Amino acid sequence: MKIPWIFFKVMKARKYIFIALALMAASVSAEAPKENDNVFKRGLSAVREFFRGEKSDTVSVADTAVAAEPVEKKSRPQRKKEKTDYGASMTEEEELELLYNSSLERNLSFPLLGRQAENIKGYQQVQARKMVTAGLNIETMRDGEVIIATVYVEDLFLPNDTVLKPNAGKFLKPYVGYLKEKDMYRMLLAMHSDDTGSAAYTDRLTSARVLAILEWFKENAVNADYVIPYGMGFSEPLYNNNSIDNRAKNRRLEIYLVPGRLMVEKSSKGELVY
């Protein structure tokens, strides 16, 4: 079950939405986590109940390092490709509803770029190199179509806290510019933890943290409609949780910059300049 999109449309006072989502996400965290289940999605399902009363081959999430500067290629969990695109015949509201109710894997697979793929890859690589030059931790996936930025939790939150640090904004601000135009990018936020604590605890922690980051983008970006949050718990570690250093690396926010419909449209019209 998914949250009805009308909930987001009607509730204009957004801070109340996210308070409600955080509370409901916490209330469902006691459920036994299922394989590949997203805790935030279960939280959305609980909110819905409250208000009612992958490609055929496997692909590494980071399959190319940006050439502007050597970037260590991490061994990331593999994700499945989806076979069919979506959204082409949908209204904007219908597509937004689908995006918010879809898994991270599915939203990383679309939109399909078709004849615009090579041009968009070139544009994305230019953006990625600019970020690397600025000192950001950047990789790419989908053969360069999608940019991945990693921000470590220690820069954003105190231990076991869900309130952003006063200086957390400086680590998120570099990505605000990618939200100037509606659906130029879909920004997927995946918050990860190490395995300290139970699955229910880390699910609850990462869900609350990613909601705090979503709220920050809604307050600071021109348009954050296409920012979609995922609380991942400790389900996708990059390293074995066998040392302080490795656990710190696993506690991370991954920001996926996925081409949106506007980017595809601009590319088809020859307006994607880089």
pLDDT at 27 over 50: no
pLDDT recorded at residue 157: 98
This prediction's pTM? 0.75
Q: Is residue 47 part of a domain?
A: no
Structural domain includes residue 36: no
DSSP string, 16-44: HHHHHHHHHHHHHTTSPPPTT--HHHHHH
For residue 37, being part of any structural domain is answered with no
Task: Give yes or no for residue 2 having a pLDDT over 60.
Answer: no
Q: How many whole angstroms separate alpha carbon 74 and alpha carbon 32?
A: 29
Q: Would you say residue 85 lies in a domain?
A: yes
Spatial contact of 134 and 235, defined as CB atoms under 8 Å apart: no
Identify whether 5 is part of a domain: no
3-class state of residue 49 by DSSP: helix
| Whole-angstrom distance, CA of residue 180 vs CA of residue 40 | 26
- According to DSSP, the β-strands at 146-152 and 138-141 are antiparallel
CATH code of the domain covering residue 181: 3.30.1330.60
Q: What share of the chain is helix, strand, coil (3-state, %, to 5)?
A: 45, 15, 40
Section 46-50 average pLDDT: 36
> Does any domain span residue 24?
no
Structure tokens at 264: 């595809």
| Higher-confidence position of 128 and 64 | 128
Alpha helices by DSSP H, listed for the chain, are: 5-10, 14-28, 39-52, 92-100, 104-109, 117-133, 169-172, 199-220, 244-250, 261-268
How is residue 188 annotated by DSSP?
E
The per-residue DSSP string of 110-124 comes to: -S--GGGHHHHHHHH
Total structural domains within the chain: 1
Q: What is the pLDDT of residue 90?
A: 81
Mean per-residue pLDDT over the chain, rounded: 79
Note the pLDDT of residue 91: 87
pLDDT average, residue stretch 101-129: 95
Q: Tokens representing 100? A: 């918010």
Residue 88 lies in a domain: yes
pLDDT in the model for residue 17: 44
Q: Is 42 part of any domain?
A: no
Range of the domain at 225: 54-268
